[in-house]
Amino acid sequence: MEDVPQIGYTEKVMDHFMHPRNVGAVADPDGVGQVGNPVCGDLMEVSIKVEKDVITDIKFKTFGCGSAIATASMVTELAKGKTLDEAEKISRQDVADELDGLPPRKMHCSNLAADALHKAIEDYRKKTETG
């Protein structure tokens, strides 16, 4: 199978698709972000656990193509151990770049992963606002 071209997917995309990291849901999450793309039908959920402003645990669930799975896996790897402010700066392009690129028609998948992370952080901040 290694000699078969993967239709424009990089080795990193294929690795994160075939062996996704951080799959599932965080038990008793501090924040949850859910996003979807009605055009392609992809759905993604990211849940986070936060201690002292740092993402200590992060998991994802997704319904979508291989790119959606790979980008969700990568965004969890990028965000784990980062402060909320650092994780919030992870962009759609950062996710694609860390995967060594995505085919242009699959870039919307990296948008979902970053957006789901940002929504989880937003959810956490709403829940912990004082006043």
Residue 79: the pLDDT is: 98
- How does pLDDT run along the chain (131 residues), one tens digit per residue? 454 445 678 999 999 999 999 999 999 999 999 999 777 788 999 999 999 999 999 999 999 888 889 999 999 999 999 999 999 999 989 998 999 988 777 776 667 899 999 999 999 999 998 64
Domain 11-124 = CATH 3.90.1010.10: yes
Q: Which residues are catalytic?
A: 40, 109
Task: Provide the pLDDT for residue 8.
Answer: 75
Look up the pTM and report it.
Answer: 0.89
Q: Where are the alpha helices (DSSP H) in the chain?
A: 11-18, 66-79, 84-88, 92-98, 107-128
Q: Where are the domains of the chain?
A: 11-124
Starting at the edge strand found earlier in the chain, the sheet holding 31-36 runs 31-36, 43-51, 54-63
